[in-house]
Structure 1
Amino acid sequence: MTGLRLGPLLRYVDQDTATVWLETEGPCEAEVHCEGSTAGGAARTWQVAGHHYALVTVVGLEPGSETPYRVTLDGREVWPLAGSAHPPSTIRTLPPPEASPSGTEPLRIAFGSCRWAARPAGSRHDPVGPDALDALAQQALAGGPLPDVLLLLGDQVYADETSARVRAKLAERRDVEKPPWDQVADYEEYTELYYESWLDPEVRWLLSTVPSCMIFDDHDVIDDWNTSEAWQREMRATDWWRERILGGLTSYWVYQHLGNLSPAELAENPVFAAVRHAEDGTPALRAFAERADADPAAARWSYRRDFGRVRLLMVDTRAGRVLPEAERRMVDDEEMDWLHEQVLDGGPGAVDHLVLGSSLPWLLPPAVHGLETWNTALCSGARGARWLGFSEKLRQRADLEHWAAFPRSFHALTELIQRVAADQEAPASVSVLSGDVHHAYVTEPQFDDLKVSGGGRPARVTQLTCSPIHNSIPAVMRSGFRFGWSRIGRRLGQALIRHARVEELPFRWRRTGGPWFGNMLMTLTMHGRDATYVLDRASAATSAPDGTPRSGLERVFSGRLSGSEPGAGRGD
């Protein structure tokens, strides 16, 4: 009998349809049954590298409903797990399109990034503390609220920082004294990362009942992934990189990317069709990954999700980069055109709130922004050849590769946001959600010339940054980020920009919350034209009824994005 190896993960959900992802022990017919309803779905598994998967489309759901479901494989029930004390997994659909804002529930999007499933072996980091994702699950199991959507903004797995358990598995397959040492080498080893990350009982239940949207960042492949052309050339010259990047892209496609797509997009996806219809989908998937790595325009990892009148655009800031110094961009021209089309589709009046998901912050502490802008200019020869070698080494060692390090793309994104915010039918808010930097903060751009034609009110533009979910940051970096927001830090950033002979930015941004440190999740709540956010930090201070310790979430900060003026926030 075929068993359930991983999942189920509830991924895409709209008014009447959902997708459920799972991995099985062998080929079978996977079926999702909805309790008390005729809704459901079935799919035959498909195979990649000896592993078997199914992505089941569930149809016939009622708009605005919450429906418990169970999973069978070849007719045998495998979910809920036998003897599980967790509540039934449910599918909560969006309200009908015609529902008025006053007659619907708010939409709650919880987000964060950077999650170690387990502390890396030999880590010299500070104590890691409780996992915020586990704390969210524990809070929900104790009767607390669940978000409507979970956004995981990168570093869902760490291919370059493995735990003792994973390293033991790697050593069973190969000599870990040779490259890539105790980092993952290929697709098979990537599967171990996902098992470790998604088999925690509480997290597994959470992912089975809260729809999730995901995007990768560097550690999903390797630290500094696609930092620069020099970095890429160096990596491609090794004898182990090809299998690493192919394993990273193919496993991301299977475990994360497919679930981001709607059933309609899946039906039109030629790679998914080739993999599903092949006896073994590995060759087709590897060929796709080869093309995607060689030519960023060959694949689109970015995607769009509409939740009623809230539009989410998740932007790939890693795989689609253009790296030659003279052409350096975070996303290529075709991708930026796509982003414009999706943002403006239906006109700004088509949505009440626009949400842009980026694994990397658009707006950094001013000192860090100035440093990255300066470094990029020096790497392109702005101060002569004598600076080139030093600047490239600094770029790689200090991870200077956020939006600020791609000035052309930074300005293009800024201009797009300004265009939407100044439209006569502008949404109430434009939010950029990001992670990566292992702390949380809120910042707002100050566009002095932002005026709405006809005298209307511009959209409120805010960046909400939340990281990590479960990781740590050295004390020296905490001090560095605090300095980056200081008045002296801002002046230093401006001085670096002048030294690089780069035109100063036509706008500034101010910090309205943070910086905060610890394992955290932020939740953005939208209801009609109103939008608020809260930041919660994981805490180990609570206990279960039987006295065993369990993690929980404690409120750190809250704010409003639309409906009133912002209040200043203070970090801790």
Structure 2
Amino acid sequence: MAKLVLGPVLRYVDAGAATVWAETDEACTVRVRATAWEDAEGGTGSASARAGGPPGGPASFGGEAATFRVAGHHYALVVLDGLPPGTALPYEVTVEADSGGGEARVWPEEHSPFPPSEIRTPSEDAAAPVRVSFGSCRWAAPPAEEKDPVGPDALDTLALRLAGEPAGERPGLLVLLGDQVYADEVSPATREWMGQRRDLDSPPGAQVADYAEYTRLYAESWGDPEIRWLLSTVPSVMIFDDHDVIDDWNTSDKWLAEMRATDWWRERILSGLMSYWVHQHLGNLSPAALAADPLLATIRSAPDRDGTEALRAFAERADADPTAVRWSYRRDLGRTRLLMIDSRAARVLEEDRRAMIDPGEEDWLRTQVREDPEAYDHLLLGTSLPWLLPHLIHDLESWDSALCGGERGARWAGRGEYLRRAADLEHWAAFPRSFDALADLIAELREGPDAPATISVLSGDVHHAYVAEARWPRGGGGGWPRAGEAVPGSPVYQLTCSPVHNSVPLAMRFEFRFGWTGAGRALGRLFARHGRVPRPAVRWRRDGGPWFGNQLMTLDLRGRTAELTLEKAVVRGERAALREVTRTRLERA
């Protein structure tokens, strides 16, 4: 009898449709059935409203999909259509093996301590409030009986809070901004498991080597009971960052050449892209995009639905030519538009053309933000790497980029490449032309009658949290606005939240704090002058932070207003809880 290995993971949800991802232990058909309560007039509502409600009966909504196989693992992505808007629908998952044995329920699990998983469809009212929670960088939490070396997991803690308030308000979307798994920093248990299948004294050592080992990472991370329930009941979108493949992935053309010269990198990068497509990317797509996806169609029509060969060929194309694949995507949530930007695989690495995203990605981004601007009030730009950094770090990265580009000669270029890797100088500031292009695009969007109420750049990566507001000069040569001065145009914020479950050395905490100070800014300008780096066309100030710890940010978007909350996972007595660190309105100064 077929069993559920991983999932269900609730991914895409809109007012009338949803997708649910799952992994099973053999070839089978996966069915998802959601239930709403039908009143006497034929309307539907939450099944939890049955008690004391009007007479009627249950209304059932379902979808099914046959599994496909990749490297011996079986996956399904089930689409549910025709769901009633504005409704909480508990659902169950059943499987029926191709080998026979009948249909069996596999979710919810027997004797589960968690409430039933639900699909909560948003209202058809585009002006309805939207809640988005986001963060990045999550080491898999250790088993409950082991001591957690980095403190309580913010996502685990969120799950416990939501489970304790099953009818309460919850995020309409969970945005995971990178490092969902750590291919280069595995747990002791995974290291021991890998050591039983190969020699860890040979490269890549105690790092992930192939697709099978990637599946172990996802099983360890998503199999955590709290995370498994959370992902089954809160819709999510995801994008990769470097540790999903390897630290400093695509930091420079010289780095990439060195990796490709090894005898282990090819299998690592292909397995990383294949596993990302299966576990993360597919769920980012809408049902319409899934129906039009040629790779998914090829895999589902392959003999025995074995997509290994087709997916590997796809990964080979993506690795050889990043412009052949688009990992970026768009999600509209009522009157909020979210654009998730691939700032890892879409890079142009040649030093004379260096860019965070290739020209095709830039065109795609411009098209998405300009399409029906009157249709959204809030614009969210998701990029795993922060656009606006502490001033000292920004100037260091811009200076280093100038050195690597030959601004101070060949000797300094070699030093710059060494420093780039040693200090992880590879954020937007390390790609000055891309930094300026994004600044110009945002400056254009924030002006005019169709300008959004807010523009926010959501990021992670740097293992701390902060809020920074971008500023542009007054029109007509009026100079730069002073702090607290009201200026026209949409407010623009860098919202950085990391880690969900990780740590940061004390020395780096000092560096991040110092980077925002006046002394840090003055030191940064010295570096910039040495590299002949011009001042950026945008300035920014820190409005909050830096904050350290395992944490999550949440945006509550209502009409033309936006409120940001930062919560940190702490231990209270014998239980973990989310403690509010700050709450602020995002609005014009």
TM-score above 0.5: yes
Percent identity, aligned pairs only? 60
Q: Does 1:113 align with 2:136?
A: yes
Gapped regions of structure 2 (runs ≥ 5): 36-57, 97-102, 477-485
SS in 2 for 1:208: helix
Is 28-37 or 146-155 further displaced after alignment?
A: 28-37
- Partners of 2:493 and 2:158 in 1: CA distance: 24
SS in 1 for 2:59: coil
- Partners of 1:80 and 1:349 in 2: CA distance: 42
Displacement after TM superposition at 1:16 (Å) = 0.3
Q: Is the 8 A contact 2:134 2:552 kept in 1?
A: yes
- Partners of 1:221 and 1:415 in 2: CA distance: 31
Q: Is the 8 A contact 2:336 2:379 kept in 1?
A: yes
Measured at CA, do residues 511 and 456 of structure 1 come closer, stay the same or move farther in structure 2, by a change above 3 Å?
Answer: closer
- Partners of 1:12 and 1:429 in 2: CA distance: 24
- Partners of 1:314 and 1:33 in 2: CA distance: 30
Tell me the alpha carbon deviations over residues 531-551 of structure 1, each in whole angstroms, 9 at most, x when there is no partner.
Answer: 000000001115xxxxxx331
Match of 2:293 among 255, 269, 284: 269
Structure 1 stretches of at least 4 aligned residues deviating more than 4 Å after TM superposition? none
Q: Is the 8 A contact 2:152 2:569 kept in 1?
A: yes
Match of 1:39 among 56, 61, 68: 61
- Partners of 1:272 and 1:493 in 2: CA distance: 48
- Partners of 1:269 and 1:397 in 2: CA distance: 39
Match of 2:105 among 77, 92, 95: 77
Is 230-239 or 33-42 further displaced after alignment?
A: 33-42
Q: Does 1:357 align with 2:379?
A: no
- Partners of 1:59 and 1:85 in 2: CA distance: 29
Tell me the alpha carbon deviations over residues 24-68 of structure 1, each in whole angstroms, 9 at most, x when there is no partner.
Answer: 010111000012323210000000000000000011211111111
**Equivalence for 1:385:** 410
- Partners of 1:525 and 1:468 in 2: CA distance: 21
Displacement after TM superposition at 1:100 (Å) = 6.3
Is 144-153 or 237-246 further displaced after alignment?
A: 144-153
Q: Does 1:399 align with 2:424?
A: yes
- Partners of 1:506 and 1:554 in 2: CA distance: 37
**Equivalence for 1:95:** 123
Q: Does 1:541 align with 2:564?
A: no
Displacement after TM superposition at 1:119 (Å) = 6.6
SS in 2 for 1:39: strand
> Structure 2 length as normaliser, TM-score?
0.91
**Equivalence for 1:568:** none
Q: Does 1:192 align with 2:249?
A: no
Kindly provide the amino acid, as one letter, of the partner of residue 287 in structure 1.
Answer: A
Is 278-287 or 187-196 further displaced after alignment?
A: 278-287
Displacement after TM superposition at 1:456 (Å) = 10
**Equivalence for 1:282:** 308
Q: Does 1:327 align with 2:356?
A: no
Measured at CA, do residues 456 and 163 of structure 1 come closer, stay the same or move farther in structure 2, by a change above 3 Å?
Answer: closer
Q: Is the 8 A contact 1:423 1:458 kept in 2?
A: yes
Tell me the alpha carbon deviations over residues 347-405 of structure 1, each in whole angstroms, 9 at most, x when there is no partner.
Answer: x2221000000000000000000000000000010001111211101000100000000
Measured at CA, do residues 119 and 79 of structure 1 come closer, stay the same or move farther in structure 2, by a change above 3 Å?
Answer: closer
Q: Is the 8 A contact 1:20 1:55 kept in 2?
A: yes
- Partners of 2:433 and 2:463 in 1: CA distance: 25
Q: Is the 8 A contact 1:498 1:504 kept in 2?
A: no
Kindly provide the amino acid, as one letter, of the partner of residue 181 in structure 2.
Answer: V
Q: Is the 8 A contact 2:466 2:545 kept in 1?
A: yes
Question: After the TM superposition, which residues 77-476 of structure 1 pair with which residues of structure 2 at under 5 Å, given as runs?
Answer: 77-96=105-124, 99=125, 101=127, 104=128, 106-118=129-141, 127-143=149-165, 145-278=169-302, 279=304, 280-346=306-372, 348-449=373-474, 457-476=488-507
Kindly provide the amino acid, as one letter, of the partner of residue 61 in structure 1.
Answer: L
Gapped regions of structure 1 (runs ≥ 5): 121-125, 543-548, 566-572
SS in 2 for 1:355: strand
- Partners of 1:210 and 1:20 in 2: CA distance: 11
Q: Is the 8 A contact 1:118 1:163 kept in 2?
A: no
SS in 2 for 1:184: coil
- Partners of 2:294 and 2:475 in 1: CA distance: 43
> Structure 1 length as normaliser, TM-score?
0.93
Q: Is the 8 A contact 1:29 1:43 kept in 2?
A: yes
Tell me the alpha carbon deviations over residues 257-283 of structure 1, each in whole angstroms, 9 at most, x when there is no partner.
Answer: 000000110111111111122231011
- Partners of 1:507 and 1:85 in 2: CA distance: 50
Tell me the alpha carbon deviations over residues 284-311 of structure 1, each in whole angstroms, 9 at most, x when there is no partner.
Answer: 0010001101111010000000011100
Displacement after TM superposition at 1:449 (Å) = 3.0
Question: After the TM superposition, which residues 504-519 of structure 1 pair with which residues of structure 2 at under 5 Å, given as runs?
Answer: 504-519=535-550
Kindly provide the amino acid, as one letter, of the partner of residue 232 in structure 1.
Answer: L
- Partners of 1:321 and 1:37 in 2: CA distance: 48
- Partners of 2:331 and 2:126 in 1: CA distance: 20
